[in-house]
Amino acid sequence: MAGFLLSGVLLTAGLSPAHAQSASCTGIAEWNASTIYSAGNKLVYQGRLYQATTSIWNTPPTHCPSCGYYQDLGACSAGGNTPPTVALTAPANGASFTAGATIAITANAADANGSVAQVQFFRGGTSLGIDTTAPYSASWANAAAGSYAITAVATDNEGATTTSAAANITVNAGTPDTTPPSVPAGLAAASVTSSSVNLSWNASTDNAGGSGVAGYDVYRNGTLVGSPAGTSFSDTGLTASTAYNYRVRARDNAGNASAQGAQISATTGAGGGDNTLPRHALVGYWHNFTNPSGPTIPISQVSNDFDVIVVAFGDDAGNGAVSFTVDPGAGAEAQFKADVAAARAKGKKVVLSLGGQNGTVTLNNATQVANFVNSMEDLIRYYGFDGVDIDLESGAGVYHGAAVQTNLVTAVKQLSTRIGPSFYLSMAPEHPYVQGGFTAYSGIWGAYLPIIDGLRQELDLIHVQYYNNGALYTPYSQNGLAEGSVDMLVGASLMLIEGFRTNNNTGVVFNGLRPDQVALGLPSGPSSANSGQASSATIANALNCLTRLQNCGTIRPQQAYPTFRGVMTWSINWDRRDGFNFSKPVRATLNTLP
């Protein structure tokens, strides 16, 4: 699934053996799965210095020593990178303020053997801002009453971080707050399906010196249906072709509530999307190729525990068109088509995936869009597929400003119209392309968000890949969340359901999806990915946290999402080779969810 080589060059020389020599690694960053390395770039991995010989990413130097992707320059000599130093200079520990004040926060930071890349300031786990130049500072406006721990996190040019000692401060309420927040404005139905309405509105403000806005109350036809902390809400379980009226009011931390804002009306659709998935589904990728997991297997031999079989992969036929050729291991073409039909007859979804580690499709103009739509319609109808899975990333040039961001949306909408209401659409981008937009919103970071937003009404399921890309930064913690942890799986899912503001809370807002449109994306075992494996117990805890608010880690949702869809894995074939070590326990957990 993840992208490896970006160039088409296949090298035959192995890593240059430099085990007897030492190398200076000062100023050289550690290998990062998300970094794209060009030929000549240097990096440090497991205490050794390497130099890339070709354009490459997501592939550590030890992955294939005989491939010659890197030159080994030797072991790092003593005295590697020294983390930066950082200390808060304001506010002072123990300082007191009055509610509504603007609190200035400053820090000194230095790096002994490099430079300070940034200093990020936090109020507990909430970011207050990032400063990349000295003197480092941020401000907290309209501070609400309470006790808080203020910290600063410095990052140097090699990625090392240091957290300052906390300054514990108190914000006093002063005179009692009896003034409600402003009435929420801008209420709108951001998207509507046959069973849900996704609402968004503008943030309210509290009075100067007030206790601060605590959250909102959402009313449907006069009845309270939700109390989110943010400015969006997904109202689910609705009846198709029905009009609903909505109003929203704001609450502050002192218990004051505003009047309800202007009423809007939203009507659910008559259908649309796919309503035949199980309430909690297991999705797996099926190999149309031979690799170390073994040869291709017929579709008829896929474990019955899988609800969605994603066929990996369609091929780039040039100029936007897509082709597909059945691997001989899956049987003759007629047998493959019969197996697909038999799986669908049992209620399974069988979907053709576009992408993978070498996947490329070019969508730069209207001709290529037309070729894409025509070829995909032909493949779906010929083989009997339910629809398409989008796993296009670096190979298709998905980055901010690229034509594919808009043309892919156009193409899939046209394809959905041609196939009709039964059309199934899923996506499986890597997390830098989605939740990575919280950290930065340029290049590849968050580049899938406009695509997801543009196709949210057609989208049946998104299962972001939470592996091979390292820790994930979220609005719920000041630290990166480790791959394979309950907190990462829950935090990443909440970002998709509740939405988030990009570029470290300073950019555009991504409005959340319905919980039933979201699933976890995980490797099936130790050989199917370089990193990101999660134990069966961890997966069960994450699913129970999301659906029941049970067995959570440090991140706990504000509400349960019992319709959270399920889990995707790479892959069916690796799972089969490993004795169904993933599918059996995960299926058992899914069967117990509400």
In this model, does residue 53 exceed pLDDT 50? yes
Backbone angle region of 294, left / alpha / beta, with phi > 0 → left and psi within -120 to 50 → alpha: left
Residue 312 in contact with residue 366, Cβ under 8 Å?
A: no
Where along the chain do its domains lie? 1-80, 85-172, 188-267, 281-590
Q: Which residues of 562-581 are buried (b: 16+ CB within 10 A; e: fewer)?
A: bbbbbbbbbbbbbbbbbebb
User: What's the average model confidence in pLDDT over 356-376?
Assistant: 89
In this model, does residue 528 exceed pLDDT 80? yes
Closest alpha carbon to 84 in 105, 108, 109, 106 = 109
Residue 156 in contact with residue 116, Cβ under 8 Å?
A: yes
Residue 86 host element (H or E): strand 85-90
| One fold for 85-172 and 188-267 | yes
- Predicted confidence at residue 254, as pLDDT, reads 86
Backbone angle region of 355, left / alpha / beta, with phi > 0 → left and psi within -120 to 50 → alpha: left
Q: With 0-12 CB in 10 A as exposed, 13-18 as middle and 19+ as buried, what is 589?
A: buried
Closest alpha carbon to 157 in 220, 87, 84, 225 = 84
- Predicted confidence at residue 357, as pLDDT, reads 66
What percentage of the chain has pLDDT greater than the value 90? 64
What percentage of the chain has pLDDT greater than the value 70? 94
- Predicted confidence at residue 389, as pLDDT, reads 97
In which band, very low, low, confident or very high, does the pLDDT at 467 lie, cut at 50, 70 and 90?
A: very high
The DSSP result for 532-571, as a single string, is ----HHHHHHHHHHHHHS-S--S---SS--TT--EEEEE-
Ranges 3-17, 308-322, 549-563: which has the least confidence = 3-17
Residue 393 in contact with residue 6, Cβ under 8 Å?
A: no
Residue 462 in contact with residue 519, Cβ under 8 Å?
A: yes
The verdict on domain 1-80 having CATH code 1.10.10.10 is no
Q: pLDDT for 274-309, tens place per residue? A: 447 889 999 999 999 999 999 999 999 999 999 999
Partnered with residue 129 across adjacent β-strands are 121
Residue 493 host element (H or E): helix 486-498
H helices then E strands: how many in the chain?
Answer: 9, 31
Residue 74 in contact with residue 22, Cβ under 8 Å?
A: yes
In which band, very low, low, confident or very high, does the pLDDT at 5 lie, cut at 50, 70 and 90?
A: very low
Closest alpha carbon to 278 in 568, 516, 544 = 516
Distance between first and last Cα of the chain:
30
- Predicted confidence at residue 80, as pLDDT, reads 64
- For 553, residues 6+ apart whose C-beta sits below 8 A from its C-beta are 485, 486, 487, 490, 541, 545
Q: Chain-wide mean pLDDT for the chain?
A: 89
- Predicted confidence at residue 66, as pLDDT, reads 77
In which band, very low, low, confident or very high, does the pLDDT at 29 lie, cut at 50, 70 and 90?
A: confident
- For 522, residues 6+ apart whose C-beta sits below 8 A from its C-beta are 466, 467, 484, 532, 533, 534, 539, 567, 568, 569, 570, 582
Task: Say how far apart CA 372 and CA 315 lie, in whole Å.
Answer: 11
Please report, for residues 136, 150, 476, 593, the alpha-carbon distance to residue 234 in angstroms, rounded to integers and kept in the order given. Answer: 39, 33, 20, 20
Catalytic residue among 158, 393, 458, 498: 393
- Predicted confidence at residue 26, as pLDDT, reads 76
Q: pLDDT for 439-458, tens place per residue? A: 999 999 999 999 999 999 99
DSSP label of 334: H
Residue 284 in contact with residue 568, Cβ under 8 Å?
A: yes
The question of whether 377 is a catalytic residue gets the answer no
What residue has token string 């196939």? 419
Closest alpha carbon to 27 in 99, 94, 111 = 111
Task: Name the CATH code of domain 188-267 (choices 2.60.40.10, 3.30.420.40, 3.60.70.12, 2.60.40.730).
Answer: 2.60.40.10
DSSP three-state, residue 524: coil
The DSSP result for 189-253, as a single string, is EEEE-SS-EEEE-PPP-PPTTS--EEEEEEEETTEEEE--SSSEEEE-SPPTT-EEEEEEEEEET
- Predicted confidence at residue 17, as pLDDT, reads 42
In this model, does residue 271 exceed pLDDT 60? no
Please report, for residues 54, 184, 363, 556, the alpha-carbon distance to residue 500 in angstroms, rounded to integers and kept in the order given. Answer: 36, 19, 28, 16
177 or 333: which carries more pLDDT confidence?
Answer: 333
Please report, for residues 290, 343, 344, 364, 587, the alpha-carbon distance to residue 304 in angstroms, rounded to integers and kept in the order given. Answer: 22, 9, 12, 40, 10
Closest alpha carbon to 452 in 504, 392, 396, 394 = 392
Considering the domain delimited by 85-172, tell me its CATH architecture: Sandwich (2.60)
Task: Say how far apart CA 69 and CA 61 lie, in whole Å.
Answer: 7
In which band, very low, low, confident or very high, does the pLDDT at 505 lie, cut at 50, 70 and 90?
A: confident
In this model, does residue 484 exceed pLDDT 90? yes
Task: Say how far apart CA 451 and CA 322 lie, in whole Å.
Answer: 19
DSSP three-state, residue 438: helix
Task: Say how far apart CA 1 and CA 430 lie, in whole Å.
Answer: 9
Q: pLDDT for 536-592, tens place per residue? A: 999 999 999 999 999 999 999 989 999 999 999 999 999 999 999 999 999 999 999
66 or 569: which carries more pLDDT confidence?
Answer: 569
In which band, very low, low, confident or very high, does the pLDDT at 58 lie, cut at 50, 70 and 90?
A: confident
What residue has token string 């009313």? 219
DSSP label of 49: E
- Predicted confidence at residue 122, as pLDDT, reads 94
- Predicted confidence at residue 21, as pLDDT, reads 61
Report domain 281-590's class.
alpha beta
Half-sphere exposure (Cβ direction) of 199: Cα atoms closer than 13 Å: 32
Closest alpha carbon to 452 in 396, 514, 507, 387 = 514
Task: Say how far apart CA 244 and CA 236 lie, in whole Å.
Answer: 12
| Joined tokens for residue 76 | 């790092």
- Predicted confidence at residue 75, as pLDDT, reads 85
Helices (H), 299-426: 333-345, 366-383, 403-419
The DSSP result for 450-469, as a single string, is HHHHHTTTT--EE--B-SSS
Residue 218 in contact with residue 187, Cβ under 8 Å?
A: no
